[in-house]
Amino acid sequence: MKKIILLGILIILMVITNPSKIEYVDWAKEQIKEQSTYEVVDWGIELLAPNLLEGATKAHNYVIFSVFKTTIMDDTITTVGLFKNFLPLPIDDNGSYHTNSAPVKESVQSEQVSVEKTATDDTPATSESQNTDYRSVPFIRDNNNKPINKTVIWKGKLESKSLDIKLNDGKAELVIGLDNPNGIKIMMLHKDTGWYLDWMKYGESPVYEFGTTESESYAVQGTTYDFDKDGSDEIIISIGDGLVNGQMWIFKYHEITRNDVTPYELLLTQSFQENVYIDENKVIIPYGSQGLFNEYTFFDGKFHEQVH
């Protein structure tokens, strides 16, 4: 009983001392000033830094702690705030965040993932393994925490990645890679025609915040899964860092007779932190650190949010 009371007190204390974005900006400003040796520079920092940091920082409040991501130019600094203190997460050579002593996330066993070869990929298809690069772990998983076996992962390299799509009217191919002359290409090739999935129109993608996933912070993943068992795969596009920031889109295919009409309909787009789970026709998206989640069930051609 005492342990439960102590745990309750600790949680309440963490909630009360969860720092705000304003407190983070003040702390970050002081960190910058500590690097200065001139009063005139300190004056400039005091005057300009708060507004710059406010605009460059995105805060994620998880009730008992917060994560702050500050992006200046092409550099992103991630800081965890708790107990009115701030812990910057250093980045290793793989673009993964670590504390000073151990990875932030526990090591996950290597999982077999279907990674299709492309015409420009000379390496054999292999499984993506989880060491310290959290982007390599499939974001979309089943209810046993196993990766959906039809997944392809693209991490901003020049080589495109492709994945077969099963459709009622034949096979198609999902292609993810760099677009020409710039940007990200996510498209379906079917019956000698290519359609771009217009994912950037929907949801707050990490791409909007950081401009591109060519940096080592994010990965684009493509997954296929037949939610309604009609013989045609739905396409799941997910973009994230494998830690706290991600966005996913689910598209459904419809047979068409005209090539100037897109055959894909957006069914659902939601943000996620680390993973999204699929259980039959359900999509489950955990959030926070207290076992909370959002659940969406697919029926009658749509996803419906479940109220718990």
Task: Tokens for 93, please give them.
Answer: 């050579």
81 close to 23: Cβ distance less than 8 angstroms: yes
State the Cα–Cα distance between residues 168 and 147, nearest whole angstrom. 24
Q: Per mean pLDDT, which range of 106-120, 253-267, 290-304 is the poorest? A: 106-120
How far is Cα 3 from Cα 25, in angstroms, rounded to an integer? Answer: 35
In which band, very low, low, confident or very high, does the pLDDT at 184 lie, cut at 50, 70 and 90? confident
Q: Please, how many CA atoms are within 13 Å of residue 157, restricted to the half-sphere of its CB?
A: 10
pLDDT in tens, 205-214: 555 443 444 4
Residue 234 has pLDDT above 80, yes or no: yes
Average pLDDT (161-180) is: 87
- Residue 67: is it exposed, middle or buried by C-beta count within 10 angstroms (0-12/13-18/19+)? buried
Q: What is the mean pLDDT of the chain?
A: 76
Among candidate residues 148, 237, 227, the one with its CA nearest the CA of residue 188:
237
pLDDT, greater one: 37 or 239: 239
Res. 201 pLDDT band, cuts 50 70 90: low
- How far apart (Å, rounded) are the C-alpha atoms in residues 104 and 205? 23
* Residue written as token pair 């926070």: 288
pLDDT value at position 190?
Answer: 85
More confident call, 53 vs 227: 227
Average the pLDDT over each of 38-42, 227-231, 272-276 and give the range with the smallest value.
Answer: 38-42
Average confidence (pLDDT) over 260-287: 88
pLDDT value at residue 41: 55
Q: Which of 4-18, 39-53, 204-218 has the lowest mean pLDDT?
A: 204-218
Alpha carbon distance 148, 142 (integer Å) = 6
Tokens read off for 66: 């917060």
Amino acid residing at 97: Y
Residue 105 has pLDDT above 60, yes or no: no
Rounded to an integer, the average pLDDT of 25-50 is 72
Split at pLDDT 50, 70, 90, the class of 251 is very high
Least confident range from 10-14, 41-45, 161-165, 274-278: namely 41-45
Q: Spell out the domain ranges in the chain.
A: 2-89, 134-305
With a cut of 80, say whether residue 286 has pLDDT above it. Answer: yes
Rounded to whole angstroms, how far apart are CA atoms 17 and 166? 50
- With cut-offs at 50, 70 and 90, classify the pLDDT of residue 148: confident
What is the C-alpha to C-alpha distance for residues 75 and 216, in angstroms, rounded to an integer?
10
Q: Pick the residue with more confidence: 293 or 256?
A: 293
